[in-house]
Amino acid sequence: MTAAEQKPDSRGRLSATDWEQAALEVLAQGGVAAVAVESLARTLGVTKGSFYWHFPTREALLKAAIDRWEQRDEDQVIAHVERIADPRERLRELFQRVSREVQSHLVYAALLQASDHPLVQPVIERISRRRLALLTAAYAEAGFEPRAARHRARLAYTAYSGFLQLNQRHGMPRMDQEEYQAYIDHVIETLVPA
Amino acid sequence: MTAAEQKPDSRGRLSATDWEQAALEVLAQGGVAAVAVESLARTLGVTKGSFYWHFPTREALLKAAIDRWEQRDEDQVIAHVERIADPRERLRELFQRVSREVQSHLVYAALLQASDHPLVQPVIERISRRRLALLTAAYAEAGFEPRAARHRARLAYTAYSGFLQLNQRHGMPRMDQEEYQAYIDHVIETLVPA
DNA sequence: TCGTGACCATACGCTCAAGTATGGAGCCAG
DNA sequence: CTGGCTCCATACTTGAGCGTATGGTCACGA
């Protein structure tokens, strides 16, 4: 209902960008395996013939879509958060952001699940390194020793990805909105120095 | 080198248990997708003909292997840890255990990655509930309010699975043994009350 | 020794999704 | 109005895995 009407330029024709957008949507929903060309074509109202005009292969689409997501993520998270002066406040903002910007985190969760895929492995590695460095820097600025900053950053980051892992489309008793906010508060209390 | 010689009863013949064991090994290594009958048959030195005598289908093998693992896990973790009286000591022991018993955790990590598989989903759900309950109880005994105990348990558990996620066969700068131990200490310090 | 049953090999068939080949509809420049 | 470019449909081929059909071998008991 949300992927059907993409952005027909004038009369139903599609562009490569349309495919990437749709790919990201089903990626967030059904994981990497759900990014199948015939299935995608159906949701876009066309057939494979269209796809293979825009992309040489399925991998190419996957790569393009993931690259696009990574770029957007870089801009949003890094830029908007890195300018917060106080490191404690910066850390709090980071944790809070998980609840908003759902789509982006869903994509990240999907990529985590497919981290053995040769195409996403380097992406996960880059993202991990970047976010870990961001956290480490924040903790260091907040007064942690270098070693302790690294450890606390790692703990925070693993808690983040573990949280994503255990929340989408499977196990774990669901939390309602209030319980969720209380949990976030607890995490901040525990992992961010007063 | 480790999966080739399983346990030929007398002369090269295999049993259903041998297949389950081998399945667990490649499951820990290559994930659920790596549990393929023809591939497994090759590593065991036989052909599919053998497999389909012991099991009606691939799913059956997967289920049997996972059940076996879950049973062993139940015995090892739950039984050996639950008898520790002091809740703080119990929590420390839990964290320490992640470094030993590597195989078991590797299987869990593989299952996490395939948590959308209809066969794996209920397993993950059960395991999650059990371990979460275990942690929650320990924190409650250690003096946490019920709500805080739940939150802290969830934080610890997500940190655990996130840690697994980001360490096997992909991303994240590797830690050496000493750094790893220091990290565990930091986690215990942070998440376990003094 | 004979035959029965446990275990395995060989050779198929079936399905699904990726990729290919080719042609057709619409539009725009000349 | 015509040729060419863009975007798409239809109909194929191909490869990987699962599952099936059928027969062979070896051990062991009667």
**Total number of domains in chain A:** 1
CB B35 within 8 A of CB B41: no
Of B103 and B61, the structure prediction assigns the larger pLDDT to B61
What pLDDT was estimated at residue B94?
A: 87
Q: What is the pLDDT of residues A77-128, one digit of tens each?
A: 778 888 899 988 998 888 888 877 788 899 999 999 999 999 999 999 999 9
Chain B's closest residue to A189, CA to CA, is: B152
Provide the token pair at B152: 């802290």
Here the CATH number for the domain that contains residue B96 is 1.10.357
Contacts of B186 in chain A (CB under 8 A): 148, 151-152, 155
Q: What is the pLDDT of residues A70-79, one digit of tens each?
A: 999 888 877 8
CB A89 within 8 A of CB A62: no
CA A107 to C1' C26 (Å) is 37
Distances in Å between the Cα of B102 and the Cα atoms of A118, A162, B96, B106, B167 are 24, 18, 12, 6, 12
Would residue A153 count as lying in a domain? yes
Candidate from A19-23, A97-101, A166-170, B60-64 with smallest mean pLDDT: A166-170
What pLDDT was estimated at residue A11?
A: 60
Would the pLDDT of B7 be above 50?
no
Amino acid B20 reads E
Would residue A105 count as lying in a domain? yes
What angle (nearest 5°) sits at the alpha carbon of residue A104, between those of residues A98 and A109?
Answer: 80
Averaged pLDDT, B9-18: 78
Distances in Å between the Cα of B181 and the Cα atoms of A132, B1, B135 are 19, 29, 21
Would the pLDDT of B98 be above 50?
yes
Residue numbers in A 50-69, CB below 7 Å of strand D: 50, 53-54
Would residue A6 count as lying in a domain? no
CB B116 within 8 A of CB A34: no
Would residue A180 count as lying in a domain? yes
Would residue A129 count as lying in a domain? yes
What pLDDT was estimated at residue B14?
A: 87
Give A169's pLDDT tier (boundaries 50, 70, 90): low
Averaged pLDDT, B154-162: 95
Would residue A15 count as lying in a domain? no
Nearest CA to CA, how far is B53 from chain A (Å)? Answer: 31
Would residue B1 count as lying in a domain? no
Would residue B123 count as lying in a domain? yes
Q: Judge whether residue A15 contacts strand D, using its CB and a 7 Å cut-off.
A: yes
Q: What is the pLDDT of residues A33-50, one digit of tens each?
A: 999 999 999 999 999 999
Give residue A115's domain range. 67-191
Q: What is the pLDDT of residues B43-90, one digit of tens each?
A: 999 999 999 999 999 999 999 999 999 999 888 887 888 889 998 899
